[in-house]
């Protein structure tokens, strides 16, 4: 029997405190032994967004117990894990400090190696845990802090093909919801309202559509929504529903164009990929059924598999951090030194140029 490597993962980069124990053998078989997540949603909702100081304090208060709970549910003690993996960026610096320092302390006390994991790498590699994907594949990360199309070539080998030049997609949903008087987080509220709306009532802009570059832009869309809402104020429920439906339609069209070009580029760069190539989606916006439908149809049309891991592994969690650590161990990567520092900004692709406005809202993922 091939021995399993077992790792404790810790995630604190934004507003979820999470710990998990995961194991993997040399052939890539895995077991998720525990997966504990504590969302801070209630603490932040009154402010309409994540408040960094509140987040950091909440991580401090919850993390120790959460780690104990993860070990207990996995039925292991610290002595039974081979390594510790903690998110060390990108994200809100206070939260990163809490998680990484805790990881270091445990690693030191238990005499285990530490892997300081890039949160985005966790998102990027999750589909190998859930679906056993082989490299290369494309990953679309759409969350409150990021909108990126990434080529995943291998462990530690990432190329950013596109990113937002202003707002992240989840941020566009949240801001739109706020200006329409809907609740936070805005994505689910906008999606709910859109169901009863007329998507053709407003013709919202689709920035960058038709351009060869694979970047995204959503701030113009948000401005157009504000303008439309002001023009017809006061808004009836039907007006709000129509705006939401038209907003989602504009986003669907935008994604279709941008990602469609990405799929074509992938086919050009990897013509010999024997298997059906894959597009993976991750991040909270991946919960949106209309956008999922758009991506699924686009993949079907282009001969791609559309992979959407279960939602709790698409949004922030510690399983993906543990898994990224395991993948690095399996690839023979050396652990990090215990003086490794958290990095609020940490692009996966260090060669990618920084675009104007990219990485706002604390560059959370
Ligand atoms: O990945 P995530 O849970 O957290 C981080 O951003 O780190 O993503 C949260 C984002 C929020 O902006 C939220 O409004 C959006 O995902 N979201 C959605 C939906 N559910 C969550 N956006 C559109 N439609 C949804 N159903
Ligand atoms: Zn994330």
| Residues 245, 138 within the same domain | yes
| Residues 90, 152 within the same domain | no
Is residue 29 situated within a structural domain?
A: yes
Q: Phi and psi at residue 161, in whole multiples of 5°?
A: -90, -30
CA 53 to chain centre: 21
Question: Which atom of ligand 1 is found nearest the CA of 287?
Answer: 26
Q: What pLDDT score does 357 carry?
A: 46
- Please check if 239 is assigned to a binding site: no
| Residues 163, 97 within the same domain | no
Q: What pLDDT score does 358 carry?
A: 45
Using an 8 Å Cβ cutoff, are 22 and 36 in contact? no
Q: Whose CA is nearest to atom 13 of ligand 1?
A: 187
Question: Which atom of ligand 1 is found nearest the CA of 177?
Answer: 14
Mean pLDDT within 21-34: 94
Mean pLDDT within 143-172: 96
Examine the fold and report which residue of 264, 295, 311 is the final residue of a domain before the chain moves on: 311
Domains: count for the chain? 2
For position 150, which CATH number holds? 3.30.420.40
pLDDT in tens, 311-362: 999 999 999 999 999 999 999 999 999 999 999 999 998 888 666 444 444 3
Beta strands in the chain (DSSP E): 4-11, 16-25, 30-39, 83-89, 114-118, 137-142, 147-154, 157-163, 278-282, 305-307
304 vs 138: CA distance, rounded Å: 10
Is residue 67 situated within a structural domain?
A: yes
Tokens of 49: 């967004």
| Residues 241, 140 within the same domain | yes
Give residue for tokens 């207990």. 72
Using an 8 Å Cβ cutoff, are 17 and 327 in contact? no
| Residues 72, 189 within the same domain | no
The pLDDT of residue 63 is above 60? yes
Residue 150: C-alpha distances to residues 76, 153, 154, 163, 361 (Å): 35, 9, 12, 9, 20
Is residue 356 situated within a structural domain?
A: no
Using an 8 Å Cβ cutoff, are 59 and 16 in contact? no
Pocket probe mutation, ligand 1, options 170, 186, 314, 315, max atoms within 8 Å of Cβ: 170
Residue closest to 238 by CA, chosen among 194, 278, 208, 276 = 194
Is residue 253 situated within a structural domain?
A: yes
User: To the nearest whole number, what is the mean pLDDT of the chain?
Assistant: 93
Cα(328) to centroid of ligand 2, in Å?
A: 19
Is residue 360 situated within a structural domain?
A: no
Classify 127 as helix, strand or coil: helix
Q: Whose CA is nearest to atom 8 of ligand 1?
A: 284
Pocket probe mutation, ligand 1, options 284, 320, 361, 362, max atoms within 8 Å of Cβ: 284
- Please check if 316 is assigned to a binding site: yes
Question: Which atom of ligand 1 is found nearest the CA of 173?
Answer: 14
| Residues 336, 187 within the same domain | no
The residue range of the domain holding 332 is 5-125+316-343
| Residues 330, 268 within the same domain | no
Least confident of 40-44, 179-183, 289-293, 344-348: 40-44
Cα(121) to centroid of ligand 2, in Å?
A: 10
pLDDT in tens, 273-313: 667 999 999 999 999 999 999 999 999 999 999 999 999 99
| Residues 180, 36 within the same domain | no
Q: What pLDDT score does 364 carry?
A: 40
| Residues 106, 158 within the same domain | no
| Residues 167, 44 within the same domain | no
Is residue 351 situated within a structural domain?
A: no
Cα(226) to centroid of ligand 2, in Å?
A: 28
Cα(209) to centroid of ligand 2, in Å?
A: 26
Using an 8 Å Cβ cutoff, are 324 and 125 in contact? yes
Tokens of 215: 């970047």
Is residue 353 situated within a structural domain?
A: no
Classify 14 as helix, strand or coil: coil
| Residues 279, 327 within the same domain | no
Least confident of 45-49, 212-216, 325-329, 356-360: 356-360
Q: What pLDDT score does 177 carry?
A: 96
Sheet holding 278-282, edge to edge: 157-163, 147-154, 137-142, 278-282, 305-307
> Quick one: what percent of the chain has pLDDT higher than 90?
87
Tokens of 219: 């701030």
| Residues 262, 140 within the same domain | yes
Is residue 329 situated within a structural domain?
A: yes
């Amino acid at each position: 029997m091939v021995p399993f490597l077992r790792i404790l993962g810790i995630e604190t980069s934004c507003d979820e405190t999470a710990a998990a124990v995961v194991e993997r053998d040399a052939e890539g078989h895995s077991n998720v032994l525990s997966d504990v997540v504590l969302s801070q949603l209630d603490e932040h909702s009154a402010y309409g967004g994540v408040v960094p100081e509140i987040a950091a304090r909440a991580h401090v208060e919850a993390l120790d117990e959460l780690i104990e709970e993860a070990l207990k549910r996995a039925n292991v003690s610290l002595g039974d894990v081979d390594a510790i993996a903690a998110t060390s960026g990108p994200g809100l610096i206070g939260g990163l400090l809490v998680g990484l320092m805790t990881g270091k302390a445990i690693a030191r006390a238990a005499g285990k190696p530490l892997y300081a994991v890039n949160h985005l790498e966790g998102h990027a590699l999750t589909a190998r845990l859930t679906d056993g994907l082989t490299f290369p594949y494309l990953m679309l990360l759409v969350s409150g802090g990021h909108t990126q199309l990434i080529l995943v070539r291998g462990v530690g080998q990432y190329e950013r093909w596109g990113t937002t030049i202003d707002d992240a997609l989840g941020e566009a949903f949240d801001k739109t919801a706020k200006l329409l008087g809907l609740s936070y987080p805005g994505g689910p509220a906008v999606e709910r309202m859109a169901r009863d709306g007329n998507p053709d009532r407003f013709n919202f802009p689709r920035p960058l559509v038709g351009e060869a570059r694979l970047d995204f832009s959503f701030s113009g869309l948000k401005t157009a929504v504000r303008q439309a809402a002001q023009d017809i104020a006061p808004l009836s429920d039907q007006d709000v529903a129509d705006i939401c439906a038209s907003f989602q339609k504009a986003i669907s069209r935008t994604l279709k164009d941008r990602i469609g070009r990405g799929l074509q580029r992938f086919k050009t760069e990897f013509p010999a990929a024997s298997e059906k190539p894959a597009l993976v989606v991750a991040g909270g916006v991946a919960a949106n059924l209309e956008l999922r439908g758009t991506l699924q149809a686009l993949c079907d049309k282009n001969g791609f598999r559309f992979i959407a891991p279960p939602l709790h592994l698409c949004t922030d969690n510690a399983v993906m951090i543990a898994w990224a650590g395991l993948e690095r161990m399996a690839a023979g990567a050396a652990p990090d030194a215990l003086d490794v520092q958290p990095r609020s900004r940490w692009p996966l692709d260090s060669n990618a140029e920084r675009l104007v406005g990219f990485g706002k809202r604390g560059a959370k993922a």
